[in-house]
Every structure is written in C-alpha cells, then in structure tokens.
Structure 1
Amino acid sequence: MPSVSARTTRGLRTASQNTRPSMEQMRKPFAQKNANTAYYTLSIIIATVALSYGSVPLYKTICQQTGWGGTPIKSAAHAGPLTDDDDVAARLTPVTSSRRLRITFAGSTSDILPWKFTPQQREVRVLPGETALAFYTATNNSKDEDIIGVATYSVTPAQVAPYFSKIQCFCFEEQRLNKGETVDMPVFFYIDPDFLKDPTMRNIDTITLNYTFFKAKYDKDGHLTPMPMPY
C-alpha cells in the first residue's frame, strides 16, 4: 500500500500536469501576433498600391475642392446635392448690380506635344453668378501618330481660384486626337457670387484662365501618371 507521502507526490504531479499549458495553447498568442503583423503589412501594401493608382484623381480632387495652386474649384452647387450640369446652372442667379468681370483665356502645350492649342475667344465679360461658355481648339499636328494629351489649368490672380467654379471642362481627362485631327473643347464656368463679399477681390477686374496640355504618360501598369502642378 503506497505511503501518504507517495500519494501526495503523485497528486501534486498530476495537478501540475493538469495546470501546465499545452503546446497548442502556448503557440496561440504567437500565431495571433504573426497574423496581426501579416494583416498590417498587407494593409500597407494595399494602401501604397491604391495611392499610386489613384494619384491623378486624388490630386485632381484636392485641387478642385481647395482651389490650391490657382486651380479653380469644381462646382458643388451651393444649395443641395449636385445632380447634373443643368441643375447647377439653374440654381445660379447673376448679381446684376455688380460690375462685369473680364475673363481672358490662354493656352499652351508642353515642348514634346506636337499639338496646336488655342482659345477661340480672347475674352468674355460676366457677372458674378452668371454662367459662361468658352471654347478652345486643339489640333494634333503629328502626321503619323495618334496622341493622348492631358490638360491642367490655373487661374490668375491665384487668389481668385476659390471663386472660379467649373461646371464642365476637359481638364485632367485623357484627350485622344488622331493624327491631323482638330477638335473643339468647351469650358462651362461661373464666378461665385461670394467673390463680391471678399474685400481682397475689390480691385480685381480681370481674371485669366490658362490651360496647358501635356503628353499623357503611363507607368508600367498602364496607369496615368500625375501631370505637373499648375503654377
């Protein structure tokens, strides 16, 4: 018959075995930590790819929403959600008591783009809150190559940009012109009536809208690379 001390020793050994964590239990925290690290790394990779893919639209959105760098703000219509271009125009009311503003137009191309790009009109005069339509003409002078171009735009004086709203334009979009082809490109815009409430705009009577066309460039994955910033 086992002694009391022997039974006690076996009991303690059994209790120790029952309370000792199994190898599976010991591995579980490390497996969870490794999984979390993998998820974090994967999220960084996905975010990097997304930013690379979306760099052009992201840049476009920032500029249009903030008026950064002399880039006109894209209209969101001051009353209610934007549904279509006609709704934006319908909501506007020209400030007839205001002076008319002189809007001049300029156009240019980068050195490596064999296009001719010019405004069809030298200037228009508009009231704040009044919509206006202008046109540019682009011609691909290449005799043997269809070319895709992308335009950036800016406004001078630069401080006017937050009040220069585009309803419709061809900027930041890929424009493909066949060899020798000529196309007309419309710009539909207005000057925000809040322009009149800004004391820093008091002495500004002339605003210039400038477009520059660049030859489209693509990365190794076929995504459009960002165009130079307007200045």
Structure 2
Amino acid sequence: MIKKKSLTPLVLIGIFVFMLGLSYAAVPLYDLFCRVTGFGGTTQISNNAPKVVLNKVVSVRFDTNVNNLPWEFKAKSNVIDVKVGQVNKIEFEVENYSGEPTAGVASFNVSPASFGKYYSKLGCFCFEKQELKAGEKATYVMTFYLDPEMVNDPSVKNLEDVTMSYTFFSTDYYKQS
C-alpha cells in the first residue's frame, strides 16, 4: 500500500506534467479556436469558392501599414464593393525605397472582429516572407470572398462595410523575439 507521504509527490509531479503539456498545446489550440470561430478578426482560409452569389453588397476597406521597414505599401483600391459569395481579387503595391535588400512578412486582421469567420481567403501573400531588392517594386494579390453564411448570423448580417488591415513587419522583427 502506498503511504500518503509518497503519494503527494507523485500527485504533484502528475500535475506538473499535465500543466507542462497544456502549455505546449495552448498555441495550436488557440490558433484552432481562432480559425474556427473567427475570434479576434481571424479570417478563414478556403480552397473552394462558394456555389452561390447573393445580391447583398458589402464595402471592404483596405488599410495598409509598415512596421520597421523602408517600404511603401498600399492597396490599389482603398475600398471595393463586393457581392457576398463572389470571388474578388485585390492588388497591393509594395516598394522598397532603401538602398539595400530587405524582407518582410505581412499579418492582417479584419474589423469588426466578429466578421472574421465570414472573410475567406483563397490566396494571399500574408505570413510568407517577401524579399525586395533595393528600389524594387512588387505587386501582391489577395483573392477572397465573403461567405454567404453571414446572412444567417444576426451579429453580422446587417454589416455594410468591413475593414481588412494589413501590416508588413521586417523579418528582423521576428528575430528579436
């Protein structure tokens, strides 16, 4: 029979191992939660376009920012009106105005945050390292649609405009972490 004195350290070790396992699982579980629910403006990634296009139109605004990079970054159109369910493409222009090669990674979010689960990307340059030579210009394309299921959600069905915000960060920013 195990004595109480030897059971307590075993219980504490078990709790420690369990908490350690939870800490490793937290990031992927949080990422999964955000992708499923659209929490925090997390958009969806899709492989297929919807089969239905609705007459409902939503204005999508594009906000562009640069953090710690000598780049100019802007959307070719600041606002586009899109039909819910229709596949759309938006082009972004980027220019490295420094005298040396630089690299960046774009992250994004959508506002209002509750709309994130209905903003689906078919193709995007985000979260991929983009390198530009000194003075080089590039055009990046994002292909997206607004999920027709949004009309069944009372929290977003009456939205008439949303904002998609992109920020390019220097890849050196990620090395600091």
Per residue, is there more strand in 1 or in 2? Answer: 2
Q: Which runs of 5+ in 2 are unaligned?
A: 1-19
Partner of 1:114: 70
In the alignment, the residues of structure 1 paired with residue 105 and residue 82 of structure 2 have an alpha-carbon distance, to the nearest angstrom, of 27
Partner of 1:100: 57
- Count of residue pairs brought into register by the alignment: 154
Flag the structure with larger Rg: 1
Name the SS of the counterpart of 1:121 in structure 2.
coil
Query: Runs ≥4 in structure 1, deviation > 6 angstroms?
Result: none
1:5-31 deviation per Cα after TM superposition (whole angstroms, max 9, x unaligned): xxxxxxxxxxxxxxxxxxxxxxxxxxx
C-alpha change, 1:66 and 1:146, in structure 2 (3 Å) is farther
Task: Please give the residue correspondences for 1:95-174 in structure 2 after superposition, counting only pairs within 5 Å.
Answer: 95-96=54-55, 99-110=56-67, 112-143=68-99, 145-174=100-129
Alignment-mate amino acid for residue 40 of structure 2: G
In the alignment, the residues of structure 2 paired with residue 158 and residue 100 of structure 1 have an alpha-carbon distance, to the nearest angstrom, of 19
Contact 2:44–2:121 (Cα < 8 Å) also in 1: yes
1:68 to 23, 39, 42: 39
C-alpha change, 1:173 and 1:165, in structure 2 (3 Å) is same
TM-score by length of 1: 0.60
Contact 2:39–2:114 (Cα < 8 Å) also in 1: no
In the alignment, the residues of structure 2 paired with residue 173 and residue 60 of structure 1 have an alpha-carbon distance, to the nearest angstrom, of 21
Per residue, is there more helix in 1 or in 2? Answer: 1
Alignment-mate amino acid for residue 213 of structure 1: F
Q: Which runs of 5+ in 1 are unaligned?
A: 1-43, 76-81, 83-87, 219-223
TM-score by length of 2: 0.77
Contact 1:93–1:129 (Cα < 8 Å) also in 2: yes
Partner of 2:6: none
Alignment-mate amino acid for residue 106 of structure 1: D
Deviation at 1:123, TM superposition (A): 1.2
Task: Please give the residue correspondences for 1:23-42 in structure 2 after superposition, counting only pairs within 5 Å.
Answer: none
Q: CA RMSD in A?
A: 2.6
Partner of 2:152: 197
In the alignment, the residues of structure 1 paired with residue 98 and residue 171 of structure 2 have an alpha-carbon distance, to the nearest angstrom, of 15
C-alpha change, 1:167 and 1:60, in structure 2 (3 Å) is farther
Contact 1:120–1:134 (Cα < 8 Å) also in 2: yes
Contact 1:166–1:187 (Cα < 8 Å) also in 2: yes
C-alpha change, 1:199 and 1:60, in structure 2 (3 Å) is closer
Contact 2:43–2:119 (Cα < 8 Å) also in 1: yes
Which structure carries more relative contact order (alpha carbon 8 Å, separation 6+)?
A: 2
